[in-house]
């Protein structure tokens, strides 16, 4: 009897902490960026509100919610890569917050994959109206399609998920990117925010945890509303 009780209490405490952090970021951070957006990227959109959709997997999706901007920035900075050699792809990109955050770095391209046409249109408006002086990547777009129908870009790639749908579908998307990388020898980095599993693709030795700096780990531990996992393709493994 005690274990379920303490588990519920622990989950409640985690939820309260996460909501407090979201509120703090909204008040201290997001407002100055929302002045640059055509449509505010804040707020939650629940599955029953995600329509019309362009996906055969709509029943596997979760609610849309924006990633905290500071967390995304910390994660990108912690990668320590030459952004100009990588594409950035956000799967389940919603209104485009992460796209605009990533485009503040000189990625080769920044693509969002979104299956809900309303969110895709809002993201497209945000991208089109965003001040150019805040963007270091010029190839920024939202693409309306099912995640498994998206054409993997050539070359190295940073793949971002904010727990958009069932983990089995996440793994199928990651596998598609890994298969493409096997053919052309490119590097793949996967950022899985708010993961519900201890490890992605546990039986696939092509994907390994990517270590983060001690500073980044402490920032995430203390100041992120959700846990994060970062992976990379093991170069040379088939």
Model confidence pLDDT, tens digit, residues 19-62: 888 888 888 887 788 889 899 898 888 777 777 676 666 666 77
Helical ranges in 116-233 per DSSP H: 117-129, 167-184, 214-223
Domain made up of 2-233: CATH architecture: 3-Layer(aba) Sandwich (3.40)
* Structure confidence at residue 89 (pLDDT): 98
Residue 237 has pLDDT above 50, yes or no: no
* Structure confidence at residue 236 (pLDDT): 61
State the sign of the Cα–Cα–Cα–Cα dihedral 134, 19, 190, 75.
positive
CA distance 85 to 216: 22
Beta-carbon neighbour count of residue 175 at 10 Å? 16
How much is the mean pLDDT over the chain?
89
Residue 4 pLDDT class (50, 70, 90 cuts): confident
Distances (CA, A) of 140 to 44, 104, 135, 171, 234: 23, 11, 9, 25, 28
Residue 130 has pLDDT above 80, yes or no: yes
- In the chain, % of residues over pLDDT 70: 94
Closest C-alpha among 107, 37, 77 to residue 90: 107
Residue 182 has pLDDT above 60, yes or no: yes
Between residues 60 and 147, the one the model is more confident about = 147
Beta-carbon neighbour count of residue 14 at 10 Å? 13
Residue 156 pLDDT class (50, 70, 90 cuts): very high
Residue 185 pLDDT class (50, 70, 90 cuts): very high
Arithmetic mean of pLDDT, 1-7? 67
* Structure confidence at residue 56 (pLDDT): 67
Beta-carbon neighbour count of residue 203 at 10 Å? 6
Closest C-alpha among 67, 68, 64 to residue 119: 64
């Amino acid at each position: 009897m005690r274990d379920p009780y303490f588990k519920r209490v622990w989950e409640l405490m985690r939820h309260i902490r996460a909501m407090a952090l979201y509120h703090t970021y909204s008040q201290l951070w997001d407002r100055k960026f929302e002045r640059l957006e055509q449509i505010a990227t804040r707020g939650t959109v629940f599955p029953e509100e995600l329509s019309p959709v362009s996906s055969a997997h709509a029943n596997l999706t979760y609610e849309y919610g924006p990633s905290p901007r500071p967390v995304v920035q910390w994660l990108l900075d912690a990668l320590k890569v030459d952004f100009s050699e990588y594409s950035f792809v956000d799967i389940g990109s919603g209104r485009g917050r992460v796209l605009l955050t990533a485009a503040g770095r000189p990625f080769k391209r920044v693509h969002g994959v979104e299956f809900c046409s309303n969110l895709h249109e809002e993201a497209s408006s945000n991208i089109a109206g965003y001040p150019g002086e805040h963007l270091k990547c010029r190839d920024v777009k939202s693409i309306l399609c099912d995640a498994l129908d998206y054409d993997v870009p050539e070359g190295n790639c940073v793949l971002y998920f904010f727990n958009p749908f069932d983990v089995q579908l996440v793994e199928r998307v990651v596998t598609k990117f890994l298969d493409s990388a096997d053919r052309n020898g490119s590097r793949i980095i996967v950022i899985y925010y708010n993961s519900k599993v201890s490890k992605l693709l546990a039986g696939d030795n092509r994907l390994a945890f990517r270590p983060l700096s001690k500073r980044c780990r402490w920032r995430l531990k203390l100041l992120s509303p959700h846990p994060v996992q970062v992976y990379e393709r093991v170069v040379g493994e088939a």
